[in-house]
Amino acid sequence: MNQPGKSMHPTRTTSPVKLQGSLSTPSAVEIRSLAPGDDATAFRTLNEEWITRYFTLEAKDRETLNDPANSILLKGGHIFMAYAGAEAVGCVALIPMRDGVYELSKMAVSPHLRGGGIGRRLLQHAIAQARSIGARSLFLGSNTRLKDAIHLYESVGFRHVKPETLPPMPYSRADVFMEMPLEPGSQ
């Protein structure tokens, strides 16, 4: 969990990302933390879009997306939202599991902006924030159908592991399991 002297509220960052699709001019993407009480509609909508495009919403998806404050934030987790102007264009969550181990979950980017670097920025931001709060490692579950996402995770240092080495994964769609140690000297 949080260590003394470590901020519980990760910082805002602005990073230029060339946007594609309907936002065709270069613009800045700002990544902000979602706080309890903030409107989480975009978090739910962005995730429901990709999940229902490829899979079926599962019970754990509904639980998390219908009440992210109680299922993530108030348990010591974090949700990061990417904004292009006023439009929420991406998100990712860090969900605490045990002793400094966090699940990287619910990562999504607006369909019309995929491939423009927003997912990489969100992922890098989440990793940096996990390090800043003293996380020891991150893990995730994905699916072989999501080849671009798997490649992105691999490119930033996630490594494939056997599912039994990780906390239980509540999603039947998960058939790819990855982990990233964050402790000094682990990479």
3 state SS of 66 = helix
Split at pLDDT 50, 70, 90, the class of 3 is: very low
* pTM check: above 0.95: no
The CA angle 39-135-105, to the nearest 5 degrees, is 45
Q: Where are the domains of the chain?
A: 13-139
Residue 13 has pLDDT above 50, yes or no: no
Alpha helices in 95-170 (DSSP H): 118-132, 147-155
Per residue in 51-73, pLDDT tens? 999 999 999 999 999 999 999 99
Closest residue by Cα to residue 16 from 124, 117, 123: 117
Q: Which CATH number fits domain 13-139: 3.30.70.360, 3.40.630.30, 3.40.50.300, 3.30.750.24?
A: 3.40.630.30
Closest residue by Cα to residue 68 from 98, 101, 28, 108: 108
What is the rounded average pLDDT for all residues in the chain? 87
Residue 45 has pLDDT above 60, yes or no: yes
DSSP code for 168: P
Q: Contact at 8 Å (CB) between 100 and 1?
A: yes
Percent of the chain predicted with pLDDT > 90: 82
Q: What is the pLDDT of residue 7?
A: 39
Encoding tokens for residue 173?
């769609």
Is 37 exposed, middle or buried, given 0-12, 13-18 or 19+ CB atoms closer than 10 A?
Answer: exposed
